[in-house]
Amino acid sequence: MELKQMILLSYQIACFYVCVLILTLATAQNTTKGANVIKPGCTNQCGNVTVPYPFGIGSGCAFDSGFEIHCNNSEKPLIGNHLTVYDISDAELRISNVFGWRCYNSTGAVINEDMVSRNFLESSPYSFSALNRFIVVGCDDYGAISGPNNFEYGCSVSCTSREDVMKGGECMGKGCCQKQIPKGLKYYSTTMSSTRNHTDVWSFNSCGYAFLGEADRFHFQGLPDLGDDLTVDYFYERLKATVPIVLEWAIGNLSCVQALERLDDYACRENSHCVDSDTGVGGYRCSCNTGYHGNPYLNQGCQDIDECADPSTNSCERICINIPGSYNCSCPDGYTDDGKKDGRSCIAAYSEFPWIKFSLGIGIGFISLVVGISWLYFSIKKRKLIKVREKFFQQNGGLLLKHRISTKEGGVEATRIFTAEELKKATNNYANDRILGRGGNGIVYRGVLRDTRIVAIKKSRIVDESQIEQFINEVVILTQINHRNVVRLFGCCLEDEVPSLVYEYVSEGNLYEHIHNQREGSWLTWQNRFRIAAEIATTLAYLHSFASIPIIHRDVKSANILLDNAYTAKVADFGASKLIPLDQTHVVTLVLGTSGYLDPEYFQTSELTEKSDVYSFGVVLAELLTGLKPIIRDRNDEQKNLADYFVSSVNNNHLFQILDRRVLREGNLEQLQKTAELVKNCLQLHREDRPTIKEVAIELEGLRKLTGISSSNQHGLGENNQDELSDLYTVPMSSYGNTPNSDSARIMHGRYSPI
């Protein structure tokens, strides 16, 4: 409430101040005006006539008594008691006229006459202007005007015929004559005489007239004819109405220089200047300085003229700036010179062609064009790319995958679908130095995601429908598996022409390399080999009994066993995996797998069961035991399967000759023998004879307790010189171990396994 009141109060105070300010301004305007235009109680209008200062109506209103104008009946301004004022201007005023005349009767006797004299006091501001002429009208007359200082002028008129009188015309002696008068005439009188007392012309002209009047207003129009008694009156009235007397006026009898010395009654106010009267009798007038107009005898009477308001008062072509007493012309930006119509006008600032502006404009225009076009191009390209990506996404089974992911309950929350852009960034646009390995159906890149996770990104190499299915397959299976010995799948990208999978990055490469290249072989102790074998078996067992849907890996091989930094085995490459529904023991499918590891029965029948994985596992275990490659070349350069070689060696009691030396050195003999026995069982030609992987895992778990160091038994083969290429081919469709056909060829090089 208090606040409200305070605000209200402050409003009131503000209002009060504003009102006072307005009032003050208005009063100030009135007082200044009143003080200078007309004194209080004075008026400047009398009838039609404006009476400007220094003139004044009534005593005390004028500059001095000489400028007093009488306005007794409020209609006719008068000077003195009988001179009617018609108008007052800066230098002169016009008053009513008066005529001298003389009339004769037929015998030459003067029957009527009126001579004129006008007299202003020496102190009066008025004098008769040189704009007046002394005029004599008649047919037998002489008129004279006389004034101070022995001034006397005269002229005579005569007529030869009646026509001379009637027609009028030039005032050149025939019926009319005129004489100039001197300046500064303060008084005059007229006289008339006649040579023959009009006796010769009396029949048509009986009167003569002599008067002073404004020359410009008098036009000789002939004389009234005799016989009309009203002639004189008529003529008199006509002239009086049309031909005034012009008076000049000036202030005092001092020159400007003298007046300025006596500043106390100097009449000229600010923005005005003094002008000497040219009458020769002294006195001066005031005039507003150029650029000002108004009354120079009043304070602030001379006001600045806003020349810019009226095009006729300024000579600016474009921009007019009013300044006190004058104006400046200027030109708009980019133009120069005086800006005057009659001067040099406005000229473009750059008299030469404005190359800089021009080229700047062109440049900017061009850049804009380029930017615009590129923008258009890129946006179209981007749209296209988006379209293409959408297409690929669909073609790559994105919808299928989405559907599958969405219908699976649980276990997939960590899986996500990456965008192509994301992966491009993660792999530094698939740079060559990011390549981890080239696999059978794709290249594997090392990638760094935005959250700094290091991942392996597998980009498929070939696209065809079966591959896509395999891909989706892998994604779907892996998303369901969360096992420490299975390579984790983070997600996939289906927007590119070739789909990509994003895996956990496993740092130490694959088992194949470790066994056969022995580069980092120091860790490959028998115990580690055994542990890895156990890990693989356990993992496969897990897969085979996975939930309600067993998973067959189908491509178990050492190259698909990855090792992390703790040399823990991680099973990879589920590209060939296929889910087997519970009610089916096998699935008739395309034979997939890698030569050397392939279950011969599966190869022959195309019937896939879990036992195929058992066979392949047997080969990997044989590899671990012997350090030999799955396909070995003997001295005759003939290829043979490690599986067959291993089985025959066991059967022929040559086991210790084929075991890896280190294994032989470090292994417990019983353990080695039993393990070899296990391998042999796994490699049974008939799948019914093989154990399940679970049994294998349990067996290995049991054998683990038999660990011990065997220092003897230095049997074994020397490191073989098998050709690595033998492993680089997948199993051809048509024949086992033959040259591959290009379609199913899976070339592998590099140390990273194709997943």
Ligand X SMILES: *[C@@H]1O[C@H](CO)[C@@H](O)[C@H](O)[C@H]1NC(C)=O
Instruction: Count Cβ atoms within 10 A of the Cβ of residue 59 and give its class: 0-12 exposed, 13-18 middle, 19 or more buried.
Output: exposed
Stretch binding ligand X (CB under 6 A), from 23-31, 132-140, 406-414, 466-474: 23-31
Nearer Cβ to ligand X (221/253): 253
Q: Determine, following the binding rule CB under 6 A, whether residue 107 of this chain makes contact with ligand X.
A: yes
Give the type of residue at 572. Answer: A
Residue with tokens 């026995």: 677
Compare residues 326 and 726 and give the one whose CB is closer to ligand X: 326
70 is an interface residue for ligand X by CB under 6 A = yes
Reported as half-sphere exposure (CB side, CA atoms, 13 A), residue 658 has a value of: 25
Q: Of 109 and 349, which has the nearer Cβ to ligand X? A: 109
> Residue ranges for the binding site?
459
Q: Is 75 in the site for ligand X (CB under 6 A)?
A: yes
Q: Considering the complex, state which of residue 328 and residue 525 has its C-beta at the smaller distance from ligand X.
A: 328
26 touching ligand X, by CB under 6 A: yes
Q: Which of residues 583-622 bind ligand X (CB under 6 A)?
A: none
**Which lies closer to ligand X via its Cβ, residue 80 or residue 365?**
80
CA distance 196 to 159: 12
Residue list for the binding site for ATP: 459
> Binding to ligand X by residue 108, rule CB under 6 A?
yes
Residue 109 touching ligand X (CB under 6 A) = yes
Residue 148 contacts ligand X per CB under 6 A: no
In sequence order, what E strands does 497-566 have?
500-504, 551-552, 561-563
Shortest reach from residue 282's CB to ligand X, in Å: 6
Which is it for strands 110-114 and 99-104: parallel, antiparallel or unpaired? antiparallel
**Least distance between ligand X and beta carbon 202 (Å):** 10
CA distance 446 to 428: 10
Dihedral of CA atoms 556, 557, 560, 561 in degrees, nearest 10, equals 100
Here the tokens at position 25 are 């301004």
Select the span of 70-78, 147-155, 569-577, 611-619 touching ligand X (CB under 6 A): 70-78
| Choice from 323, 349, 462, 733 touching ligand X (CB under 6 A) | 323
Q: Is 197 in the site for ligand X (CB under 6 A)?
A: yes
Among 10, 106, 258, 604, interactor with ligand X by CB under 6 A: 106
109/549 with CB nearer ligand X: 109
| Residues 333-392 within binding reach of ligand X (CB under 6 A) | none
Q: How far is the CB of 369 from ligand X (least distance, A)?
A: 42
How long is the chain? Answer: 755
Q: Do 511 and 563 meet the contact criterion of CB atoms below 8 Å apart?
A: yes
CB-based contact 555:573 (threshold 8 Å):
yes
Min dist CB 100 to ligand X, Å, is: 17
User: Using the 8-state DSSP alphabet, how is residue 25 labeled?
Assistant: H
As a whole number of angstroms, the distance between CA 674 and CA 705 comes to 12
* Identity of the residue numbered 265: D
Single-letter code of the amino acid located at 294: G
Pairing of strands 92-95, 83-88: antiparallel
Please say whether the beta carbons of 284 and 130 come within 8 A.
no
Minimum separation from the CB atom of position 357 to ligand X (A): 26
With contacts defined by CB under 6 A, name the span among 25-33, 480-488, 503-511, 690-698 that binds ligand X: 25-33
Q: Nearest 10 degrees: CA dihedral of 53, 59, 60, 62?
A: 20
- Choose the binding region for ligand X from 106-114, 172-180, 566-574, 609-617 (rule: CB under 6 A): 106-114
**CB nearer to ligand X: pick between 70 and 269:** 70
DSSP H or E run through 446: strand 442-448
Min dist. Cβ of residue 361 to ligand X (A): 31
CB-nearer residue toward ligand X: 323 or 349? 323
The overall longest dimension of the chain from CA atoms, in Å, is 195
Q: Is 636 in the site for ligand X (CB under 6 A)?
A: no
Name which of 70 and 578 has its Cβ closer to ligand X. Answer: 70
Instruction: Identify which range of 232-240, 321-329, 357-365, 447-455 contacts ligand X by CB under 6 A.
Output: 321-329
Member of 105, 303, 419, 605 binding ligand X (CB under 6 A): 105
d(CA 49, CA 87): 6
Closest separation between CB of residue 231 and ligand X, Å?
17
Per CB under 6 A, the list member of 14, 15, 18, 110 interacting with ligand X is 110
DSSP string, 601-665: HHHHH-EE-HHHHHHHHHHHHHHHHH---SEEE-TT--EEEHHHHHHHHHHTT-HHHHS-HHHHH
**Which residues, 6+ apart, have CB-to-CB distance to 739 below 8 Å?**
732
Q: Pull the structure tokens for residue 711.
A: 């220092």
Q: Near ligand X by CB under 6 A, which window of 69-77, 86-94, 256-264, 528-536?
A: 69-77
Interface with ligand X includes 321 (CB under 6 A)?
Answer: yes
Q: Is 593 helix (H, G, I), strand (E, B) or coil?
A: coil
Min CB(34)–ligand X separation in Å: 7
Q: Which is nearer to ligand X, 321 or 449 (CB)?
A: 321
Structure tokens at 589: 């499918």
Distance of CA 393 to the CA centre of its chain: 39
CB closer to ligand X, 108 vs 222: 108
Residue 670 dihedral angles phi and psi, to the nearest 5°: -65, -45
**HEC readout, 510-523:** EHHHHHHCCCCHHH
Is there binding between residue 47 and ligand X (CB under 6 A)? yes
List 167, 196, 238, 262, residue binding ligand X (CB under 6 A): 196
Using CB under 6 A, pick the residue from 81, 548, 565, 652 that binds ligand X: 81
89 burial level (CB within 10 Å; 0-12, 13-18, 19+):
exposed
Say how many residues touch ligand X, by CB under 6 A. Answer: 22
Least distance to ligand X, CB of residue 10, Å: 27
Piece of the chain touching ligand X by CB under 6 A; list 11-19, 101-109, 157-165, 548-556: 101-109
Region binding ligand X by CB under 6 A among candidate stretches 89-97, 105-113, 494-502, 546-554: 105-113
Which of the residues are catalytic?
555
Instruction: Please list the alpha-helical segments (H only) found in 336-449.
Output: 355-395, 398-407, 420-426
Quick check: 65 binds ligand X (CB under 6 A)? no
- The reply to whether 648 sits near ligand X by the rule CB under 6 A is no
Among 10, 24, 27, 258, binds ligand X (CB under 6 A): 27
Q: Kind and range of the H or E element at 13?
A: helix 2-36
72 is an interface residue for ligand X by CB under 6 A: yes
Beta carbon nearer to ligand X, 107 or 452: 107
Pair 457, 447: CB distance under 8 Å:
yes
As measured in angstroms, the least distance from the Cβ of 296 to ligand X is: 21
With CA atoms as reference, report the closest residue to 277 among 91, 85, 87. Answer: 91
Contacts with 412 (C-beta within 8 Å, 6 or more apart), sequence order: 405, 479, 480
Q: Which of 591, 655, 599, 589 is nearest to 622 (CA)?
A: 655
CB of 328 to ligand X, least distance (A): 4
Residue in 10, 43, 48, 648 binding ligand X, rule: CB under 6 A: 48
Q: Give least dist CB 123 to ligand X, A.
A: 5
* Footprint (CB under 6 A) of ligand X, residues 248-307: 253
How far lies 492's CA from each of 171, 364, 431, 478, 499, in Å? 122, 45, 19, 11, 7
* Residues engaged in binding ligand X (CB under 6 A): 26-27, 30, 47-48, 70, 72, 75, 81, 105-110, 123, 196-197, 253, 321, 323, 328
